[in-house]
Amino acid sequence: MSVAPGSRVEVLAPVPEPLLSVVVPSYNSQDYLDRCLDTLVGAGSELEIIVVDDGSTDGTAALAQTYVDRFPGAVVLVSKPNGGHGSAINTGLARARGRYLKVVDSDDWVDEAALAQVLDTLRGFATSGSDVDLVVSNFVYEKVGKRRKVAVRYRNALPRGRVFSWSQTRRFRKRQYLLMHSMIYRTGLLREVGLELPEHTFYVDNLYAFVPLARVRSAYYLDVDLYRYFIGREDQSVHESVMLRRLDQQLRVNWMMLRHLRSTEVEDKRMRDYRLHYVRIICAVSSILLVRSGTRASLAEKDQLWGEIRREDPWLYRRLRWSAIGQLTNLPGPAGRRVSVLAYRVAQRVVGFS
C-alpha cells in the first residue's frame, strides 16, 4: 500500500479481547428479548453479547438491531437460516471473541449484580494468567405464578470460592446435576473438544452441559444466583405437553449422551461417576415421558430403550437400570407406572419446576 507524502496514517488500536461472550439464541423472541438484553448491556466492554437470530419470522432481528445501534461494539447481531437451538449456539461459539462463553436463552435473563461478580472473578483469572476450564454459578427458577422462587445451588457438591479439580468434588444429590444455565466454559475448551451441537433438535442443552465436561481439568464455583430461568410459556420446549410431542428428540439426545459416555475415556473416578449420574437422570426422564405418553407404542419404545442399552453394554445397563432412580422409573404394570409418574411429579415440585 502506498501513502502520499505528508498524509496521516490512522493506526487502529487492536480491539481488546472480552472477558466473556454471551450467546443469546433467539427465535421469534420479539416479546421478551429486550428483558434479556437489558440485564446484559450494562456490564461494560468486558462483555460481548452475540444475539443469534435463528431465522425468526417476527421482529426479533429488528429489535436486536436497536441494541446493536445503541451499544455499538458491545452487541452483535448474527442472522442465519433456522437451524434450531444447537445451531444457534454453534454459530455464536464460532463468532465469540471472549475468553469465556455463556449461553443465555432469549426468554431468560441474568441478575446484574451477580454478573458483575462473575466478571470480577474472570478478570482475576485473566490477570493472574490462570484461566480455569469451567465456572459454575447458581440459577433460579422463575416460574409464572410462583411467589416463592427456587434457587438451584451446588454448595453440597462443589468447593466454594477456590479453584478445584473434579476429584475434589463431593457427591451430587439424586436429582441434582449441572445445567447449561449454571455453566460458563473457557471458550478455548469448547473449541478444543470440537463441540458441535445437532441442528433442528431440542434439548441439546444437555449435550452442552455433558460433552465438554469430560475435558474439564479445573473449575471454580461462584456461589451467586446469576441465571434466571423462566418457566411458564405453553410453547416452551420444557413444557410437558411440548416434550411429549418431541419425544423423538429427547430420545435422540439421550442416545447421544449414552454413546459419548461409552466412547469417551475419563481418568478421574469422580468425573466418571458424575457423568454416569447425569445419564441416569436423562434416561429416567425419557422413561417417564414415554410412560406419560400412555400409548402402547411409547411403552414399547421404553422397553426398546432399555433393551438396547442392555444389548450394547450390559455393565452400563446394570449401573443405570438397577440404580434407585432406574428402578423407580421402571416399576412394572399400570400401578407401577402410576407410582413412577407420581414420584416424577414430586421431584418436579421439590425443585419448583411444576
The domain boundary, picked from 203, 231, 259, lies at: 231
Domain membership flag for residue 177: yes
- Residue at 62 is within a domain: yes
Residue 297 lies in a domain: yes
Q: Per residue in 20-75, pLDDT tens?
A: 999 999 999 999 999 999 999 999 999 999 999 999 999 999 999 999 999 999 99
Share of the chain above pLDDT 70, in %: 89
Mean residue pLDDT of the chain comes to: 90
Q: What phi and psi, each to the nearest 5 degrees, are found at residue 196?
A: -145, 110
Out of 201, 231, 261, a domain closes at: 231
Which CATH number belongs to the domain containing residue 195 in this structure? Answer: 3.90.550.10
Mean pLDDT computed over 166-193: 96
Domain check: are 76 and 203 in the same one?
yes
Residue 311: which residues within 8 A CB-CB, separation 6 or more? Answer: none
Stretch among 85-99, 241-255, 259-273 having the lowest mean pLDDT: 241-255
Identify whether residues 157 and 280 lie together within a single domain: no
Structure letter (DSSP) for residue 275: H
Q: Are 121 and 19 in contact (CB under 8 A)?
A: no
pLDDT of residue 238: 56
Cell 411429579 sits at which residue?
Answer: 345
Task: Report pLDDT for 326.
Answer: 86
Res 240: pLDDT:
62
Residues 99 and 193 occupy one common structural domain: yes
Runs of H (alpha helix) within the chain = 33-38, 60-70, 85-95, 112-128, 187-192, 205-210, 240-245, 247-263, 269-293, 296-312, 314-321, 324-328, 333-350
Residue 7 resides in a domain: no
The Cα 267–Cα 66 span in angstroms is 48
Grid cell locating 192: 478444543
279 close to 320: Cβ distance less than 8 angstroms: yes
Instruction: Of 157, 270, 249, give the one whose Cα is nearest residue 203.
Output: 249
Residues 198 and 262 in one domain: no
Tell me the C-alpha distance between 213 and 221, whole Å: 14
In this prediction, residue 324 carries a pLDDT of 87
How, if at all, do strands 109-110 and 134-143 pair?
unpaired
Q: Are 22 and 104 in contact (CB under 8 A)?
A: yes
Mean pLDDT within 273-294? 93
Residue 344's pLDDT band (cuts 50, 70, 90): low
Q: How far apart are CA 306 and CA 331, in angstroms?
A: 13
In the predicted model, is pLDDT for residue 340 greater than 90?
no
The per-residue pLDDT for 1 is: 41
C-alpha of 20 from chain center: 16
**Long-range pairs, 64-71, Cβ under 8 A, ≥24:** 64/26, 64/33, 64/37, 67/37, 67/41, 70/41, 71/41
Task: Give the lowest-confidence range in 32-46, 183-197, 202-216, 314-328.
Answer: 314-328
**In this structure, are 118 and 165 located in the same domain?**
yes
pLDDT at 153 over 80: yes
Query: 290 with 210, same domain?
Result: no
Higher-confidence residue: 231 or 305?
Answer: 305
Q: pLDDT at residue 270 above 70?
A: yes
**Is it the case that residue 82 has pLDDT exceeding 90?**
yes
The reported pTM is 0.90
Q: Does residue 5 sit within a domain?
A: no
Positive/negative CA dihedral, 80, 83, 84, 89: negative
The reply to whether 165 falls in a domain is: yes
b/e burial code for range 311-344 (CB count within 10 A of at least 16 → b): eebeebbebbbebebbebbbbeeeeebeebbebb
Answer yes or no: is pLDDT of 349 > 70.
no
Which residue among 168, 198, 231 closes a domain?
231
| Rounded-to-10 torsion of CA 157, 114, 215, 286 | 70
Q: How confident is the model at residue 215 (pLDDT cuts 50, 70, 90)?
A: very high
d(CA 23, CA 195): 15
**Residue 6 covered by a domain:** no
According to the model, what pLDDT value does residue 61 have?
Answer: 98
Cell of 99: 475468553
pLDDT digits (tens, 9 = 90+) for 230-260: 987 565 555 566 677 889 999 999 999 999 9
Domain of 313?
A: 240-351
**Residues 221 and 144 placed together within one structural domain of the fold:** yes
Same domain membership, residue 165 and residue 102: yes
347 pLDDT tier (thresholds 50, 70, 90):
low
Does residue 9 sit within a domain?
Answer: no
Comparing CA positions, the residue from 171, 342, 331, 336 lying closest to residue 321 is 331
148 and 122 both lie in a single domain: yes
pLDDT over threshold 70, residue 168 = yes
Query: 95 with 179, same domain?
Result: yes
Residues 245 and 201 in one domain: no
Domain identity same for 84 and 198: yes
Q: Which residue has the higher pLDDT, 253 or 349?
A: 253
Count of domains forming the chain: 2
Residue 267 has pLDDT above 80, yes or no: yes
